Structure 1
């Protein structure tokens, strides 16, 4: 097994993709793979799996939910961390995603969530919420979170 892979879906304003790409920067911390890529890499080649998504109507994106359903057996017993972006940044989003993954048999090593610009539904009428997010502080916090996940979860010879 090798390092860390982060599967992500980012649709509405590309908040999650922006967060991940800027948090990782030019560093080889993790391999970023959008769920739109096909075929997806073999999960068994990775010691640590990140799952990142925007929140849509209180849930991770439908593509993330489909990924979890399709790879349920592959994720059982695996070390997984989560990253979410959402306009309202409600704490229960993280909790609900963790519960979903625990039901898949994952071992959750950590969760990160930050605001993301949102103009979906009624927010469009007021020009959106969480303008400017993810911002520099969100990106810095996400980078620190990912580094900490790798440091504490991966054996030093695979980092």
Structure 2
């Protein structure tokens, strides 16, 4: 099974840490959104899509990338890092776009990440040290589940 993990990590490297752990466990190729050609996706059986959460959804570059994909009959998983809240809600926009493009969502993962956006900067941010080793272990366990369903 060929796997690809596509991610966007902007501020603190939170999502990149998670993406690297997932890719390592899946023996997957790892690419930032700006490094991937959408034609390359045809080579993969399972594709992961992830970023930090910004204004209640995934990064706009990831959403735009998915929006411009052709219809595909592929398995996919979604992941994210976030400051606060429930990831199921935050994943909604990306999940909807992937399903519209023909992807079958086989799993979702999220963990807290260091966040200094807006007013949080004034207090030194929240979730310092996250993702931590426990978060990385949860990401590895998630990846092992994806390996079984992929």
Gaps in structure 2 of 5+ consecutive residues: none
Secondary structure class of the residue paired with 2:146: helix
- Residue by residue over 1:82-133, the C-alpha shift from the partner in whole angstroms, topping out at 9 and shown as x without a partner, is 1110111423113443233223332100100110111011211211111111
Deviates more, 1:31-40 or 1:144-153: 31-40
Q: 1:127/1:41 Cα in 2 relative to 1: closer, same or farther (>3 Å)? A: farther
Distance 1:90 1:105 in 2: 25
What's the TM-score, normalizing by structure 2?
0.89
Deviates more, 1:27-36 or 1:11-20: 27-36
Gaps in structure 1 of 5+ consecutive residues: 154-159
Secondary structure class of the residue paired with 1:105: coil
- Partner of residue 69, structure 1: 67
Q: 1:97/1:65 Cα in 2 relative to 1: closer, same or farther (>3 Å)? A: closer
When the two chains are superposed, the root-mean-square deviation of aligned CA atoms in Å is 1.9
Secondary structure class of the residue paired with 1:139: helix
- Partner of residue 17, structure 2: 18
Distance 2:139 2:2 in 1: 18
- Partner of residue 133, structure 2: 136
- Residue by residue over 1:67-94, the C-alpha shift from the partner in whole angstroms, topping out at 9 and shown as x without a partner, is 01111x24x3221101110111423113
- The alignment covers a number of residue pairs equal to 149
Matches within 5 A, 1:19-98: 19-25=18-24, 29-37=27-35, 39=37, 42-71=40-69, 73-74=70-71, 76-91=72-87, 92-98=89-95
